[in-house]
Structure 1
Amino acid sequence: MHILLTNDDGLQAQGLQILKEEMMDYARKVTVVAPAGQRSAASHSMTINRTLYCHEHPGATDQVREISVSGTPVDCVKMAMEYFLRDDRPDLIISGINDGYNLGSDVLYSGTVSAAMEGPYYQVPAMAVSMGTMTEDRCRET
């Protein structure tokens, strides 16, 4: 299985990094394409009038690859699907682990949820994951 991970809290976010480590036990390949920094409440916005900058982080292996994108969470999924993974499409997209719940009307503003909503557009199953209180212990319990 090949899993694409993203979020709206940025590539270095604790939840995303824990999710990456955990998914390595279940997937032959994990590709992380996430915003270069915090993009919470980006909703389903896309970058259209600015250049997107992408940076592939060192340390890639046959199993894990990490790329940061200067844009929104939706930009990250689009860049992954149309450029980075064009010839090696993922089997699943997971967006998160978001630091804070995405409940009720929050889903309308959530970059985490919006990134997952791109999955069906590319005919790839997707889900968004969030936690009310982000701690390493809680993430690993779930």
Structure 2
Amino acid sequence: MLLSIEDQVVILLASVYGGLMLGLIFGFYRFVRDIFRFGGMVTFIGDMLFWAAALVVTLSIVYRSSSGLVRVYQLLGFGLGTMLYLYFLGGIVETLLNGLAYFVKGLFFTVVKLMRGPLRVLSNILWKPCNTVKTRVCKTFARMGQEARKYLPLIKNKK
């Protein structure tokens, strides 16, 4: 089946776009993997999930752009798109993701600091009543134990 040059250019551009998408997916995966520092088995599973996602993206773009017919220039387009991402966009995306992680981490610690003040005040308010209740309960159980010890010889002698 012969395709016009325009159709081939569209297929090539779709493949370059697919390569950029693969690079972006890889960038997100690498970011998550670097943040959480998984062990060997989890990294292996993550790699398999990445390659499964890459396969789905690749096959869907090949199917939509050229009705499932794989052409050599499509493979070159995927490679070109991935290289474009890694050389030009990868650093920018990584910087943005690291900035986002830094912002979320700072926001989390700020919220924790803001919550510590009221929790400390509440703890100080509730400390005295809770301590009093704890003391009374302990004394009550101690008295119950002493009373039970009085009747222990009577129970042993009933045999």
Instruction: Please say whether Structure 1 and Structure 2 have the same fold, judged by a TM-score greater than 0.5.
Output: no
Who wins on radius of gyration, i.e. which is larger? 2
Larger strand fraction of residues? 1
TM (normalized to structure 2)? 0.20
Larger helix fraction of residues? 2
TM (normalized to structure 1)? 0.22
